[in-house]
Structures are given as structure tokens and as C-alpha cells.
Structure 1
Amino acid sequence: MADEGTYINHYQNVSICISYCEPTESFISLLKVKVKDKDAQTIFDTIVKELESKNIDMTKISFTGFDDASLFSGEFSGVSAKFHIIEVQESLLTLKSLFNFINRSSIGLARFNDVQTLMKHPQLKLIQPGDTRWLSYSRSINAAIRCYEPLMITTGTYS
């Protein structure tokens, strides 16, 4: 969670707090940012730099929380959207890799189909995610969810 406020000295203070999976919360920092640099990218970069200096792994962040100010909560260019991009991009890259692993190899595709047959699972196909339309990602995700167990067995990650 982060918030900012501008003080009389023309600096913007940014506070950062972190909640861990355990019921623990830590105050991380109170940072000064010049008011003229008060834009989402500068604040995002400042937060990331501070978290990295504290050895906090950015890939393990699963949720961010900010107030409703557009600087933080703006859907496309707010600080929150910039954190969201990190999380979503990694998930979509995994989805693309999964599709390529199964469908770009005749052996992988045959193995996937065989696993579905052995499990008496409906013969479903993965849908290639597209880079230009969110709807194609939705269809790809839904297909992967419907085939989850056969996919895990095919890729050797089922436990």
C-alpha cells in the first residue's frame, strides 16, 4: 500500500507499507519526491527502487492498494496500473509458453490428446492467445482452465 501527500516544502512524501502472508504489516519508507515530478511513472519508479533496495522481490507482490486519487488508481496510467502490468504480463507469458509447448510440437499435442483420452476427459483444444485482443486472452485462459488437469499431467507438473 502506498500514499502520497504534498507538504509546504514543495516535496511530495510517499509512504509505503507492506502486509505479508502472515498477519504482519511493516512500514517501509517515507520518501520525498519533488512536486514537479508528481507523475505516476516517477512515483512507480521511486516505489520499485525503494522496494528493491530493501530486497523485496517484485515478482512476489500479489496485490497493491492505493487511494482513489487518479495518480494512483488511474486505470491506464496510474501507479496501480503499472504494478498490474507486471503481474499480468508474467501470467500471459506463461499462457503463451503453455500453448507453444503443447501445440507447436506434434509429440506434445499427441501426448496431450492421449492424456485426455486416458482420463476420459473431453477432447479439448487450447486456444492461442493473441497480442491485440483481450477477448482472445479470455478464451485462452478459459480453455486452459477447462483442461487444467490434463495439462498438468502432460507438462509433468501434476502432483
Structure 2
Amino acid sequence: MARRFLQDSDYSDQIRDEIRNLLDDSDDSRLLRQAEHKTIAQMRNWLTSRYDCDKIFAPAIEGEPDTRDAFVVMIAIDITLYHLWSKERGKIPQIRSDRYQDALDWLKSVGNGETIADLPAKPQDDMTGGVQIYSLYKPNNNKY
């Protein structure tokens, strides 16, 4: 079984096991895994231009200190739970909608560079360099 960024124990702060089991009634938690996969893809789309997503979404290793960012784990759970609730059309609790919107707002703000997150930066060699200006027109010599 592949290691996952989100662990089953991470969910206990935000949702009771009984509710989580109602949202994903599959024996192998297939729906939960699919929602987690969508969540990580969604978060990567916003963070990848500025941050090292491979480090951010590295799974915790059993027996070693947990190096995952607690805030990233929290919003990943918020987004995952929203995706799970989405199949229950019209029954999404307001707290889930609010937390999902808060997570999206933070991701957009960080992705656009309006907010600086305490996350591993993308290595310099991966970043695009400065601005390059060019023109289709030949430069003019404006000496008089």
C-alpha cells in the first residue's frame, strides 16, 4: 500500500469516525482516498509555482518526527471532507462550506503571492528567471 500524505488519525480533530464512515461506506475507504488525491492535486495547482510541493506533500514516516506542516494538513482535510460531502447534494454542512472557502482563499492568496507561507520554497534553479522584454520592432536611435 502506498504511503499517504493524510493519515486516518489526522481526521479525528475535524470529524467523528462515525460521520466519516457514513461519507465513505466502501470497505477499503476508496472514496476517501479518491477525495484525498483530488485535494492534493488541487492544492498543488495553487502552490507549485512558488513552493516545493514534493516536500510539502511528503508523507509522514512512521517512527520519525512528523515534518508535515500542520496548517497544510488542516486545510487538506477541510478540502477532502468537502469533496466527500459533495456527493450528498444539498446536504453539505455550513461549517464544511465555510472551511472549504477559507482553504481556497488561502491557497489563492499564497498562489498569487499576496500571502507568504512558511513552506519550503521551490529551488532557485526551478524558478523562472527575471522578466525578459523584447519587441518585434527594430530599436530606434533617437539621437539628435
TM (norm. structure 2) is: 0.26
TM (norm. structure 1) is: 0.24
Higher relative contact order (CA 8 A, sep 6+): 2
Whose strand fraction is larger, Structure 1's or Structure 2's?
1
